[in-house]
Structure 1
Protein backbone atom coordinates (compact mmCIF):
# COMPACT_ATOMS: atom_id res chain seq x y z
CA UNK A 1 0.00 0.00 0.00
CA UNK A 2 1.42 3.34 -1.12
CA UNK A 3 2.18 5.91 1.52
CA UNK A 4 1.60 9.53 0.62
CA UNK A 5 4.35 11.96 1.57
CA UNK A 6 3.56 14.16 4.53
CA UNK A 7 2.54 17.67 3.57
CA UNK A 8 4.16 20.59 5.39
CA UNK A 9 1.79 22.86 7.32
CA UNK A 10 1.72 26.37 5.88
CA UNK A 11 1.45 29.35 8.27
CA UNK A 12 -1.93 30.89 8.25
CA UNK A 13 -1.97 34.25 6.40
CA UNK A 14 -4.17 35.76 9.12
CA UNK A 15 -1.62 34.96 11.83
CA UNK A 16 1.10 36.64 9.77
CA UNK A 17 -0.96 39.79 9.34
CA UNK A 18 -1.66 39.87 13.07
CA UNK A 19 2.01 39.62 13.95
CA UNK A 20 2.84 42.41 11.48
CA UNK A 21 0.14 44.64 12.95
CA UNK A 22 1.36 43.87 16.47
CA UNK A 23 4.88 44.81 15.46
CA UNK A 24 3.72 48.14 14.05
CA UNK A 25 1.70 48.96 17.15
CA UNK A 26 4.60 48.09 19.42
CA UNK A 27 6.65 50.87 17.87
CA UNK A 28 6.55 53.75 20.31
CA UNK A 29 6.28 56.49 17.70
CA UNK A 30 3.43 54.85 15.79
CA UNK A 31 1.48 54.03 18.94
CA UNK A 32 1.95 57.58 20.26
CA UNK A 33 0.54 59.10 17.08
CA UNK A 34 -2.40 56.70 17.14
CA UNK A 35 -3.22 57.87 20.65
CA UNK A 36 -2.71 61.54 19.80
CA UNK A 37 -4.57 61.36 16.50
CA UNK A 38 -8.17 61.81 17.75
CA UNK A 39 -7.19 64.71 20.00
CA UNK A 40 -5.22 66.41 17.23
CA UNK A 41 -8.12 66.03 14.80
CA UNK A 42 -10.49 67.50 17.39
CA UNK A 43 -8.21 70.50 17.94
CA UNK A 44 -7.82 71.06 14.21
CA UNK A 45 -11.56 70.90 13.60
CA UNK A 46 -12.85 72.91 16.56
CA UNK A 47 -9.92 75.16 17.52
CA UNK A 48 -7.45 75.68 14.69
CA UNK A 49 -10.00 76.08 11.89
CA UNK A 50 -12.22 78.64 13.73
CA UNK A 51 -9.10 80.53 14.86
CA UNK A 52 -7.61 80.91 11.38
CA UNK A 53 -11.01 81.60 9.86
CA UNK A 54 -11.47 84.35 12.44
CA UNK A 55 -8.17 85.89 11.33
CA UNK A 56 -9.40 85.72 7.73
CA UNK A 57 -12.70 87.41 8.67
CA UNK A 58 -10.93 90.17 10.59
CA UNK A 59 -9.16 91.23 7.39
CA UNK A 60 -12.43 91.66 5.50
CA UNK A 61 -15.38 94.01 5.56
CA UNK A 62 -17.73 91.06 5.93
CA UNK A 63 -21.39 91.57 6.76
CA UNK A 64 -24.28 89.15 7.03
CA UNK A 65 -25.73 88.05 3.66
CA UNK A 66 -23.10 89.96 1.66
CA UNK A 67 -19.74 88.98 0.17
CA UNK A 68 -16.66 90.10 2.03
CA UNK A 69 -14.27 92.76 0.76
CA UNK A 70 -10.61 92.48 1.71
CA UNK A 71 -9.60 95.56 3.71
CA UNK A 72 -6.40 94.37 5.40
CA UNK A 73 -5.87 95.94 8.81
CA UNK A 74 -8.58 98.58 8.33
CA UNK A 75 -10.84 96.98 10.95
CA UNK A 76 -8.07 97.17 13.56
CA UNK A 77 -7.32 100.78 12.60
CA UNK A 78 -10.99 101.63 13.09
CA UNK A 79 -10.97 100.02 16.51
CA UNK A 80 -7.87 102.00 17.52
CA UNK A 81 -9.83 105.24 17.02
CA UNK A 82 -13.00 104.00 18.74
CA UNK A 83 -13.54 105.29 22.29
CA UNK A 84 -15.76 102.30 23.12
CA UNK A 85 -12.93 99.93 22.20
CA UNK A 86 -10.62 101.51 24.77
CA UNK A 87 -13.39 101.44 27.36
CA UNK A 88 -13.89 97.73 26.67
CA UNK A 89 -10.12 97.19 26.90
CA UNK A 90 -10.03 98.88 30.29
CA UNK A 91 -13.06 96.90 31.48
CA UNK A 92 -11.47 93.62 30.38
CA UNK A 93 -8.15 94.17 32.11
CA UNK A 94 -9.78 95.43 35.32
CA UNK A 95 -12.15 92.47 35.36
CA UNK A 96 -9.40 89.90 34.69
CA UNK A 97 -6.82 91.41 37.05
CA UNK A 98 -9.08 91.81 40.09
CA UNK A 99 -10.83 88.46 39.74
CA UNK A 100 -7.53 86.64 39.24
CA UNK A 101 -6.01 88.16 42.39
CA UNK A 102 -9.14 87.45 44.44
CA UNK A 103 -9.44 83.88 43.20
CA UNK A 104 -5.75 83.26 43.78
CA UNK A 105 -5.71 84.53 47.37
CA UNK A 106 -9.12 83.09 48.26
CA UNK A 107 -8.40 79.74 46.63
CA UNK A 108 -5.04 79.45 48.37
CA UNK A 109 -6.61 80.20 51.74
CA UNK A 110 -9.37 77.71 51.01
CA UNK A 111 -6.82 75.03 50.08
CA UNK A 112 -4.80 75.64 53.25
CA UNK A 113 -7.93 75.23 55.38
CA UNK A 114 -9.08 72.11 53.50
CA UNK A 115 -5.62 70.59 53.95
CA UNK A 116 -6.02 70.58 57.74
CA UNK A 117 -7.50 67.64 59.64
CA UNK A 118 -10.96 68.39 61.04
CA UNK A 119 -14.30 66.64 61.37
CA UNK A 120 -16.38 66.75 58.18
CA UNK A 121 -13.42 67.60 55.96
CA UNK A 122 -14.51 65.33 53.10
CA UNK A 123 -18.01 66.79 53.12
CA UNK A 124 -16.57 70.30 53.11
CA UNK A 125 -14.41 69.43 50.12
CA UNK A 126 -17.46 68.16 48.25
CA UNK A 127 -19.40 71.37 48.95
CA UNK A 128 -16.35 73.35 47.88
CA UNK A 129 -16.93 72.29 44.27
CA UNK A 130 -20.60 73.28 44.10
CA UNK A 131 -20.14 76.81 42.68
CA UNK A 132 -17.84 75.44 39.99
CA UNK A 133 -19.98 72.50 38.87
CA UNK A 134 -23.35 74.28 38.85
CA UNK A 135 -24.19 75.32 35.26
CA UNK A 136 -23.38 78.97 34.61
CA UNK A 137 -26.88 79.78 33.37
CA UNK A 138 -28.48 78.35 36.52
CA UNK A 139 -26.13 80.10 38.94
CA UNK A 140 -26.51 83.37 37.01
CA UNK A 141 -30.29 83.25 37.43
CA UNK A 142 -29.79 82.87 41.18
CA UNK A 143 -27.44 85.85 41.24
CA UNK A 144 -29.91 87.92 39.20
CA UNK A 145 -32.42 87.40 42.00
CA UNK A 146 -29.80 88.12 44.69
CA UNK A 147 -28.85 91.41 42.98
CA UNK A 148 -32.33 92.42 41.83
CA UNK A 149 -33.06 96.08 42.77
CA UNK A 150 -36.56 95.22 44.04
CA UNK A 151 -36.24 91.71 45.49
CA UNK A 152 -32.53 91.66 46.34
CA UNK A 153 -31.81 89.68 49.49
CA UNK A 154 -28.60 91.70 49.90
CA UNK A 155 -30.54 94.97 49.92
CA UNK A 156 -33.06 93.51 52.35
CA UNK A 157 -30.34 92.46 54.78
CA UNK A 158 -28.55 95.82 54.56
CA UNK A 159 -31.76 97.79 55.08
CA UNK A 160 -32.84 95.58 57.99
CA UNK A 161 -29.42 96.03 59.59
CA UNK A 162 -29.68 99.80 59.20
CA UNK A 163 -26.57 100.02 57.02
CA UNK A 164 -28.42 101.72 54.15
CA UNK A 165 -31.70 103.59 53.95
CA UNK A 166 -32.82 102.22 50.58
CA UNK A 167 -31.71 99.46 48.26
CA UNK A 168 -29.03 99.77 45.61
CA UNK A 169 -29.40 98.96 41.94
CA UNK A 170 -26.40 96.66 41.77
CA UNK A 171 -26.70 95.99 38.04
CA UNK A 172 -27.90 99.47 37.08
CA UNK A 173 -24.93 101.44 38.38
CA UNK A 174 -21.71 101.30 36.34
CA UNK A 175 -19.36 100.83 39.30
CA UNK A 176 -21.63 98.47 41.21
CA UNK A 177 -22.32 96.40 38.09
CA UNK A 178 -18.62 95.74 37.49
CA UNK A 179 -18.12 95.02 41.18
CA UNK A 180 -21.03 92.58 41.13
CA UNK A 181 -19.57 90.73 38.14
CA UNK A 182 -16.21 90.49 39.91
CA UNK A 183 -17.89 89.05 43.01
CA UNK A 184 -19.86 86.46 41.02
CA UNK A 185 -16.86 85.42 38.93
CA UNK A 186 -14.72 85.08 42.07
CA UNK A 187 -17.41 83.01 43.78
CA UNK A 188 -17.64 80.73 40.77
CA UNK A 189 -13.92 80.39 40.01
CA UNK A 190 -12.46 80.14 43.51
CA UNK A 191 -13.18 76.38 43.87
CA UNK A 192 -11.04 75.72 40.79
CA UNK A 193 -8.12 77.37 42.54
CA UNK A 194 -8.93 75.72 45.85
CA UNK A 195 -9.13 72.14 44.59
CA UNK A 196 -6.11 72.45 42.30
CA UNK A 197 -3.92 74.00 44.99
CA UNK A 198 -5.18 71.45 47.51
CA UNK A 199 -3.88 68.70 45.23
CA UNK A 200 -0.53 70.48 45.18
CA UNK A 201 -0.45 70.83 48.95
CA UNK A 202 -1.05 67.12 49.44
CA UNK A 203 2.14 66.30 47.53
CA UNK A 204 4.27 68.02 50.19
CA UNK A 205 5.87 65.52 52.56
CA UNK A 206 5.11 65.99 56.24
CA UNK A 207 8.82 65.41 56.92
CA UNK A 208 9.56 68.86 55.49
CA UNK A 209 7.20 70.52 57.96
CA UNK A 210 8.59 68.47 60.84
CA UNK A 211 12.16 69.43 59.94
CA UNK A 212 11.18 73.10 59.70
CA UNK A 213 9.42 72.92 63.08
CA UNK A 214 12.50 71.36 64.67
CA UNK A 215 14.59 74.24 63.28
CA UNK A 216 12.24 76.65 65.05
CA UNK A 217 10.36 77.95 61.98
CA UNK A 218 7.07 79.69 62.65
CA UNK A 219 3.90 78.89 60.71
CA UNK A 220 4.48 81.90 58.46
CA UNK A 221 8.06 80.83 57.78
CA UNK A 222 6.96 77.27 57.04
CA UNK A 223 4.48 78.61 54.50
CA UNK A 224 7.05 80.93 52.94
CA UNK A 225 10.01 78.56 52.75
CA UNK A 226 8.33 75.15 52.47
CA UNK A 227 4.80 75.41 51.12
CA UNK A 228 5.13 78.27 48.64
CA UNK A 229 8.23 77.03 46.76
CA UNK A 230 6.70 73.56 46.29
CA UNK A 231 3.33 74.75 44.99
CA UNK A 232 4.71 77.65 42.91
CA UNK A 233 4.53 75.68 39.61
CA UNK A 234 0.92 74.77 40.38
CA UNK A 235 0.16 78.41 41.19
CA UNK A 236 1.56 79.57 37.86
CA UNK A 237 -0.31 76.96 35.83
CA UNK A 238 -3.64 77.54 37.56
CA UNK A 239 -3.20 81.31 37.19
CA UNK A 240 -2.51 80.93 33.48
CA UNK A 241 -5.64 78.83 32.95
CA UNK A 242 -7.73 81.20 35.04
CA UNK A 243 -6.56 84.21 33.04
CA UNK A 244 -7.40 82.48 29.76
CA UNK A 245 -10.87 81.45 30.99
CA UNK A 246 -11.59 84.91 32.43
CA UNK A 247 -10.53 86.71 29.25
CA UNK A 248 -13.03 84.56 27.36
CA UNK A 249 -15.81 84.86 29.95
CA UNK A 250 -19.11 85.43 28.15
CA UNK A 251 -22.10 83.67 29.69
CA UNK A 252 -21.94 85.21 33.13
CA UNK A 253 -21.45 88.80 31.93
CA UNK A 254 -23.98 88.64 29.13
CA UNK A 255 -26.64 87.02 31.26
CA UNK A 256 -26.27 89.47 34.16
CA UNK A 257 -25.65 92.83 32.49
CA UNK A 258 -25.53 92.39 28.68
CA UNK A 259 -22.48 94.64 28.84
CA UNK A 260 -24.37 97.55 30.38
CA UNK A 261 -25.09 99.99 31.73
CA UNK A 262 -23.61 102.22 28.98
CA UNK A 263 -20.90 99.67 28.05
CA UNK A 264 -19.61 99.73 31.65
CA UNK A 265 -19.29 95.93 31.83
CA UNK A 266 -18.60 95.07 28.20
CA UNK A 267 -15.50 92.91 27.72
CA UNK A 268 -14.03 91.71 24.44
CA UNK A 269 -16.15 88.57 24.23
CA UNK A 270 -19.50 90.28 24.83
CA UNK A 271 -18.72 93.31 22.65
CA UNK A 272 -17.51 91.06 19.82
CA UNK A 273 -20.79 89.13 20.04
CA UNK A 274 -22.86 92.32 19.86
CA UNK A 275 -20.94 93.65 16.86
CA UNK A 276 -20.58 90.38 14.99
CA UNK A 277 -23.89 88.63 15.68
CA UNK A 278 -26.39 91.34 16.60
CA UNK A 279 -25.10 94.13 14.35
CA UNK A 280 -24.11 91.69 11.60
CA UNK A 281 -20.59 93.11 11.16
CA UNK A 282 -18.75 89.81 11.09
CA UNK A 283 -15.39 91.24 10.07
CA UNK A 284 -15.36 93.89 12.79
CA UNK A 285 -16.57 91.38 15.37
CA UNK A 286 -13.71 89.04 14.50
CA UNK A 287 -11.26 91.94 14.80
CA UNK A 288 -12.56 92.73 18.29
CA UNK A 289 -12.22 89.10 19.35
CA UNK A 290 -8.62 88.99 18.09
CA UNK A 291 -7.58 92.35 19.54
CA UNK A 292 -6.81 90.82 22.92
CA UNK A 293 -4.65 88.05 21.42
CA UNK A 294 -1.25 89.86 21.57
CA UNK A 295 -1.55 90.72 25.27
CA UNK A 296 -2.78 87.22 26.09
CA UNK A 297 0.04 85.61 24.10
CA UNK A 298 2.69 87.74 25.83
CA UNK A 299 1.26 86.81 29.23
CA UNK A 300 1.17 83.07 28.50
CA UNK A 301 4.66 83.02 26.98
CA UNK A 302 6.03 85.00 29.93
CA UNK A 303 4.49 82.65 32.48
CA UNK A 304 5.73 79.62 30.54
CA UNK A 305 9.32 80.87 30.42
CA UNK A 306 9.18 81.76 34.10
CA UNK A 307 7.93 78.27 34.91
CA UNK A 308 10.75 76.67 32.89
CA UNK A 309 13.34 78.84 34.59
CA UNK A 310 12.05 77.82 38.00
Structure 2
Protein backbone atom coordinates (compact mmCIF):
# COMPACT_ATOMS: atom_id res chain seq x y z
CA UNK A 1 0.00 0.00 0.00
CA UNK A 2 1.41 3.36 -1.03
CA UNK A 3 2.02 6.15 1.49
CA UNK A 4 -0.64 8.33 -0.18
CA UNK A 5 -3.24 5.58 0.17
CA UNK A 6 -2.28 5.10 3.83
CA UNK A 7 -2.81 8.81 4.54
CA UNK A 8 -6.19 8.72 2.80
CA UNK A 9 -7.30 5.96 5.21
CA UNK A 10 -6.29 7.85 8.36
CA UNK A 11 -9.28 9.60 9.98
CA UNK A 12 -7.11 12.15 11.77
CA UNK A 13 -5.47 13.25 8.53
CA UNK A 14 -8.81 13.39 6.69
CA UNK A 15 -10.35 15.46 9.47
CA UNK A 16 -7.63 18.11 9.26
CA UNK A 17 -7.65 18.01 5.45
CA UNK A 18 -11.40 18.67 5.39
CA UNK A 19 -11.22 21.40 8.03
CA UNK A 20 -8.21 23.24 6.62
CA UNK A 21 -10.06 25.15 3.83
CA UNK A 22 -12.65 26.38 6.33
CA UNK A 23 -9.96 27.41 8.82
CA UNK A 24 -8.06 29.33 6.13
CA UNK A 25 -11.30 30.99 4.99
CA UNK A 26 -12.22 32.08 8.52
CA UNK A 27 -8.71 33.37 9.26
CA UNK A 28 -8.55 35.31 6.01
CA UNK A 29 -12.01 36.90 6.13
CA UNK A 30 -12.61 37.12 9.88
CA UNK A 31 -9.37 36.78 11.81
CA UNK A 32 -7.20 39.19 9.81
CA UNK A 33 -9.85 41.98 9.64
CA UNK A 34 -10.52 41.56 13.38
CA UNK A 35 -6.82 41.98 14.22
CA UNK A 36 -6.63 45.02 11.92
CA UNK A 37 -9.71 46.53 13.59
CA UNK A 38 -8.03 46.19 17.00
CA UNK A 39 -4.87 47.83 15.67
CA UNK A 40 -6.78 50.67 13.98
CA UNK A 41 -8.79 51.34 17.15
CA UNK A 42 -5.57 52.35 18.93
CA UNK A 43 -4.26 54.47 16.05
CA UNK A 44 -5.00 57.74 14.28
CA UNK A 45 -5.46 56.12 10.85
CA UNK A 46 -7.78 58.06 8.53
CA UNK A 47 -8.76 57.61 4.91
CA UNK A 48 -6.62 60.64 4.04
CA UNK A 49 -3.60 59.59 6.11
CA UNK A 50 -3.16 55.80 6.35
CA UNK A 51 0.06 56.07 8.38
CA UNK A 52 -0.14 54.23 11.72
CA UNK A 53 0.52 56.26 14.88
CA UNK A 54 -0.27 54.91 18.34
CA UNK A 55 -2.82 57.05 20.22
CA UNK A 56 -3.77 54.72 23.06
CA UNK A 57 -7.36 54.98 24.30
CA UNK A 58 -8.12 58.39 22.78
CA UNK A 59 -10.46 56.88 20.17
CA UNK A 60 -12.43 55.11 22.88
CA UNK A 61 -12.60 58.30 24.95
CA UNK A 62 -14.02 60.13 21.93
CA UNK A 63 -16.52 57.34 21.33
CA UNK A 64 -17.72 57.40 24.94
CA UNK A 65 -18.28 61.17 24.68
CA UNK A 66 -20.32 60.73 21.48
CA UNK A 67 -24.07 60.85 22.15
CA UNK A 68 -24.77 59.23 18.77
CA UNK A 69 -22.75 56.18 19.85
CA UNK A 70 -24.93 55.64 22.92
CA UNK A 71 -28.07 56.12 20.86
CA UNK A 72 -26.78 53.65 18.28
CA UNK A 73 -26.09 51.16 21.06
CA UNK A 74 -29.66 51.47 22.39
CA UNK A 75 -31.04 51.21 18.87
CA UNK A 76 -28.96 48.07 18.23
CA UNK A 77 -30.19 46.34 21.38
CA UNK A 78 -33.82 47.31 20.69
CA UNK A 79 -33.52 46.35 17.01
CA UNK A 80 -32.03 42.96 17.85
CA UNK A 81 -34.35 42.08 20.75
CA UNK A 82 -37.62 42.97 19.00
CA UNK A 83 -36.53 41.38 15.73
CA UNK A 84 -35.42 38.15 17.42
CA UNK A 85 -38.72 37.80 19.32
CA UNK A 86 -40.82 38.41 16.20
CA UNK A 87 -38.68 36.09 14.08
CA UNK A 88 -39.04 33.26 16.60
CA UNK A 89 -42.84 33.70 16.81
CA UNK A 90 -43.44 34.04 13.07
CA UNK A 91 -41.00 31.26 12.15
CA UNK A 92 -42.83 28.87 14.48
CA UNK A 93 -46.17 29.75 12.89
CA UNK A 94 -44.74 29.50 9.38
CA UNK A 95 -43.01 26.19 10.12
CA UNK A 96 -46.33 24.69 11.29
CA UNK A 97 -47.89 25.75 7.99
CA UNK A 98 -45.04 24.37 5.90
CA UNK A 99 -45.13 20.89 7.47
CA UNK A 100 -48.87 20.56 6.91
CA UNK A 101 -50.14 18.51 3.96
CA UNK A 102 -51.92 20.58 1.34
CA UNK A 103 -51.98 20.95 -2.42
CA UNK A 104 -49.18 23.14 -3.83
CA UNK A 105 -46.99 22.92 -0.73
CA UNK A 106 -43.80 22.97 -2.81
CA UNK A 107 -44.82 26.27 -4.46
CA UNK A 108 -45.62 27.84 -1.08
CA UNK A 109 -42.21 26.77 0.23
CA UNK A 110 -40.59 28.34 -2.83
CA UNK A 111 -42.39 31.64 -2.21
CA UNK A 112 -41.50 31.58 1.47
CA UNK A 113 -37.79 31.24 0.71
CA UNK A 114 -37.74 34.13 -1.77
CA UNK A 115 -37.10 36.87 0.83
CA UNK A 116 -34.05 34.98 2.06
CA UNK A 117 -32.63 34.13 -1.37
CA UNK A 118 -33.09 37.66 -2.76
CA UNK A 119 -30.02 39.90 -2.28
CA UNK A 120 -30.62 42.08 0.77
CA UNK A 121 -29.84 45.37 -0.97
CA UNK A 122 -32.19 44.57 -3.86
CA UNK A 123 -35.07 43.49 -1.62
CA UNK A 124 -34.59 46.50 0.66
CA UNK A 125 -34.72 48.87 -2.31
CA UNK A 126 -38.09 47.37 -3.23
CA UNK A 127 -39.26 48.21 0.28
CA UNK A 128 -38.35 51.84 -0.36
CA UNK A 129 -41.23 51.90 -2.84
CA UNK A 130 -43.59 50.05 -0.49
CA UNK A 131 -42.85 52.62 2.25
CA UNK A 132 -42.71 55.70 0.04
CA UNK A 133 -44.46 58.71 1.60
CA UNK A 134 -46.40 59.47 -1.62
CA UNK A 135 -46.64 56.35 -3.80
CA UNK A 136 -46.74 53.68 -1.08
CA UNK A 137 -49.12 50.79 -1.94
CA UNK A 138 -49.28 50.09 1.79
CA UNK A 139 -50.84 53.52 2.36
CA UNK A 140 -53.25 52.95 -0.54
CA UNK A 141 -54.50 49.67 0.96
CA UNK A 142 -54.86 51.19 4.42
CA UNK A 143 -56.83 54.11 2.98
CA UNK A 144 -59.12 51.75 1.08
CA UNK A 145 -60.03 49.87 4.23
CA UNK A 146 -60.48 53.11 6.17
CA UNK A 147 -57.62 52.73 8.65
CA UNK A 148 -55.91 56.00 7.64
CA UNK A 149 -56.95 59.16 5.83
CA UNK A 150 -53.74 60.67 4.49
CA UNK A 151 -50.29 59.36 3.74
CA UNK A 152 -48.07 57.98 6.51
CA UNK A 153 -44.43 59.06 6.42
CA UNK A 154 -43.11 55.63 7.30
CA UNK A 155 -39.42 56.47 7.01
CA UNK A 156 -39.65 60.09 8.16
CA UNK A 157 -40.83 59.66 11.75
CA UNK A 158 -38.55 58.30 14.46
CA UNK A 159 -41.01 55.66 15.68
CA UNK A 160 -42.31 54.60 12.28
CA UNK A 161 -38.79 54.51 10.82
CA UNK A 162 -37.53 52.06 13.44
CA UNK A 163 -40.74 50.01 13.12
CA UNK A 164 -40.23 49.88 9.34
CA UNK A 165 -36.62 48.76 9.66
CA UNK A 166 -37.62 46.04 12.12
CA UNK A 167 -40.47 44.88 9.87
CA UNK A 168 -38.17 44.53 6.85
CA UNK A 169 -35.54 42.67 8.90
CA UNK A 170 -38.19 40.27 10.25
CA UNK A 171 -39.47 39.72 6.70
CA UNK A 172 -35.93 38.81 5.61
CA UNK A 173 -34.97 36.46 8.44
CA UNK A 174 -38.24 34.63 9.09
CA UNK A 175 -37.88 32.20 6.12
CA UNK A 176 -34.45 30.97 7.27
CA UNK A 177 -35.63 30.58 10.85
CA UNK A 178 -38.77 28.79 9.65
CA UNK A 179 -36.70 26.22 7.76
CA UNK A 180 -34.59 25.59 10.88
CA UNK A 181 -37.67 25.24 13.09
CA UNK A 182 -39.37 23.06 10.47
CA UNK A 183 -36.46 20.60 10.67
CA UNK A 184 -36.93 20.45 14.44
CA UNK A 185 -40.67 19.88 14.13
CA UNK A 186 -40.22 17.07 11.63
CA UNK A 187 -37.78 15.34 14.01
CA UNK A 188 -40.43 15.09 16.76
CA UNK A 189 -41.72 11.47 16.88
CA UNK A 190 -45.27 11.30 15.56
CA UNK A 191 -46.31 8.69 18.13
CA UNK A 192 -46.01 11.28 20.91
CA UNK A 193 -48.48 13.59 19.18
CA UNK A 194 -50.78 10.69 18.33
CA UNK A 195 -50.78 9.51 21.96
CA UNK A 196 -51.72 13.02 23.09
CA UNK A 197 -54.57 13.07 20.56
CA UNK A 198 -55.86 9.75 21.90
CA UNK A 199 -55.76 11.16 25.43
CA UNK A 200 -57.97 14.02 24.26
CA UNK A 201 -55.40 16.82 24.14
CA UNK A 202 -56.46 19.67 21.86
CA UNK A 203 -54.34 21.68 19.43
CA UNK A 204 -53.16 24.32 21.90
CA UNK A 205 -52.42 21.81 24.66
CA UNK A 206 -50.35 19.72 22.25
CA UNK A 207 -48.64 22.88 21.00
CA UNK A 208 -47.53 24.20 24.41
CA UNK A 209 -47.22 20.85 26.15
CA UNK A 210 -45.43 18.78 23.50
CA UNK A 211 -44.39 20.58 20.32
CA UNK A 212 -42.79 23.73 21.72
CA UNK A 213 -40.90 22.01 24.61
CA UNK A 214 -39.46 19.35 22.29
CA UNK A 215 -38.56 21.87 19.57
CA UNK A 216 -37.29 24.55 21.97
CA UNK A 217 -33.55 23.85 21.41
CA UNK A 218 -34.00 24.21 17.65
CA UNK A 219 -36.13 27.33 18.12
CA UNK A 220 -33.37 28.81 20.30
CA UNK A 221 -30.79 28.11 17.57
CA UNK A 222 -33.04 29.86 15.03
CA UNK A 223 -33.29 32.81 17.41
CA UNK A 224 -29.50 32.84 17.79
CA UNK A 225 -29.00 33.00 14.03
CA UNK A 226 -31.53 35.82 13.82
CA UNK A 227 -29.85 37.73 16.66
CA UNK A 228 -26.38 37.45 15.10
CA UNK A 229 -27.56 38.53 11.66
CA UNK A 230 -29.59 41.41 13.07
CA UNK A 231 -26.97 42.66 15.52
CA UNK A 232 -24.30 42.94 12.84
CA UNK A 233 -26.56 44.13 10.02
CA UNK A 234 -26.45 47.67 8.65
CA UNK A 235 -27.79 47.16 5.13
CA UNK A 236 -31.50 47.50 5.91
CA UNK A 237 -31.20 50.70 7.94
CA UNK A 238 -28.62 52.13 5.55
CA UNK A 239 -30.73 51.59 2.43
CA UNK A 240 -34.04 52.59 3.99
CA UNK A 241 -33.12 55.56 6.17
CA UNK A 242 -29.31 56.01 6.19
CA UNK A 243 -29.65 56.03 9.98
CA UNK A 244 -32.22 58.84 10.08
CA UNK A 245 -34.21 60.67 11.01
CA UNK A 246 -31.79 62.24 13.51
CA UNK A 247 -29.94 58.94 14.07
CA UNK A 248 -33.12 57.20 15.26
CA UNK A 249 -32.31 54.08 13.20
CA UNK A 250 -28.52 54.14 13.44
CA UNK A 251 -26.98 50.93 14.78
CA UNK A 252 -23.45 50.23 15.92
CA UNK A 253 -22.61 48.70 12.56
CA UNK A 254 -24.00 51.61 10.54
CA UNK A 255 -22.49 54.29 12.82
CA UNK A 256 -19.09 52.57 12.61
CA UNK A 257 -19.42 52.72 8.82
CA UNK A 258 -20.46 56.37 8.81
CA UNK A 259 -17.62 57.42 11.14
CA UNK A 260 -14.93 55.16 9.74
CA UNK A 261 -15.62 55.12 6.00
CA UNK A 262 -17.82 58.07 5.07
CA UNK A 263 -16.44 60.27 7.88
CA UNK A 264 -12.87 59.19 7.16
CA UNK A 265 -11.90 58.51 10.80
CA UNK A 266 -10.91 54.86 10.52
CA UNK A 267 -9.63 54.73 14.11
CA UNK A 268 -12.94 55.80 15.66
CA UNK A 269 -14.90 53.62 13.26
CA UNK A 270 -12.83 50.59 14.32
CA UNK A 271 -13.32 51.47 18.00
CA UNK A 272 -17.10 51.59 17.53
CA UNK A 273 -17.12 48.32 15.59
CA UNK A 274 -15.17 46.54 18.35
CA UNK A 275 -18.11 47.00 20.73
CA UNK A 276 -20.07 44.56 18.56
CA UNK A 277 -17.80 41.67 19.56
CA UNK A 278 -18.16 41.45 23.38
CA UNK A 279 -21.91 42.15 23.34
CA UNK A 280 -22.56 39.59 20.62
CA UNK A 281 -20.26 37.06 22.28
CA UNK A 282 -22.05 37.40 25.62
CA UNK A 283 -25.46 37.01 23.98
CA UNK A 284 -24.36 33.98 21.95
CA UNK A 285 -22.88 32.26 25.03
CA UNK A 286 -26.08 32.88 27.01
CA UNK A 287 -28.28 31.43 24.27
CA UNK A 288 -26.00 28.42 23.69
CA UNK A 289 -25.93 27.65 27.40
CA UNK A 290 -29.70 27.80 27.48
CA UNK A 291 -29.84 25.45 24.48
CA UNK A 292 -27.48 23.00 26.18
CA UNK A 293 -29.58 23.00 29.36
CA UNK A 294 -32.73 22.45 27.33
CA UNK A 295 -31.10 19.60 25.43
CA UNK A 296 -29.99 17.95 28.67
CA UNK A 297 -33.52 17.92 30.10
Using the size of structure 1 for normalisation, the TM-score is 0.90
Residue 219 of structure 2 aligns with which residue?
235
Offset of 1:133 from its aligned partner? 1.0
Specify which of 213, 217, 236 is matched with residue 252 of structure 1: 236
Offset of 1:83 from its aligned partner? 1.1
Do the aligned partners of 2:87 and 2:223 also contact (CA within 8 Å) in 1?
Answer: no
Do the aligned partners of 2:232 and 2:276 also contact (CA within 8 Å) in 1?
Answer: no
SS at match of 2:79: helix
| 1:166 is the counterpart of 2:136 | no
Q: Which has the higher mean CA deviation after the structures are superposed, 66-75 or 98-107?
A: 66-75
Offset of 1:235 from its aligned partner? 1.2
**Aligned-residue CA RMSD (Å):** 1.4
| 1:54 is the counterpart of 2:29 | no
Residue 40 of structure 1 aligns with which residue?
23
Residue 14 of structure 1 aligns with which residue?
none
Residue 253 of structure 2 aligns with which residue?
269
Q: Which has the higher mean CA deviation after the structures are superposed, 150-159 or 140-149?
A: 150-159
Offset of 1:302 from its aligned partner? 1.3
Q: Deviations over 1:161-182 (max 9, x none)?
A: 3332321111111111111111
Specify which of 269, 273, 290 is matched with residue 289 of structure 1: 273
Residue 214 of structure 1 aligns with which residue?
198
Q: Deviations over 1:257-309 (max 9, x none)?
A: 11111111111111111101111100100111111222211111112222222
| 1:28 is the counterpart of 2:48 | no
Residues of 1 paired with 2:150 and 2:202: CA distance? 47
Offset of 1:243 from its aligned partner? 0.6
Offset of 1:23 from its aligned partner? 1.0
Residues of 2 paired with 1:188 and 1:56: CA distance? 34
The answer for unaligned runs of 5 or more in structure 1 is 1-17
Specify which of 253, 265, 286 is matched with residue 302 of structure 1: 286
SS at match of 1:300: helix
The answer for unaligned runs of 5 or more in structure 2 is none
Residues of 2 paired with 1:293 and 1:77: CA distance? 18
Residues of 2 paired with 1:99 and 1:205: CA distance? 30
Offset of 1:90 from its aligned partner? 1.0
Q: Deviations over 1:199-229 (max 9, x none)?
A: 1111112111111222332222222232122
Specify which of 90, 93, 98 is matched with residue 109 of structure 1: 93
Residue 132 of structure 1 aligns with which residue?
116
Count of residues in correspondence between the two structures = 293
SS at match of 2:2: helix
Offset of 1:160 from its aligned partner? 3.3
| 1:83 is the counterpart of 2:63 | no
Using the size of structure 2 for normalisation, the TM-score is 0.94
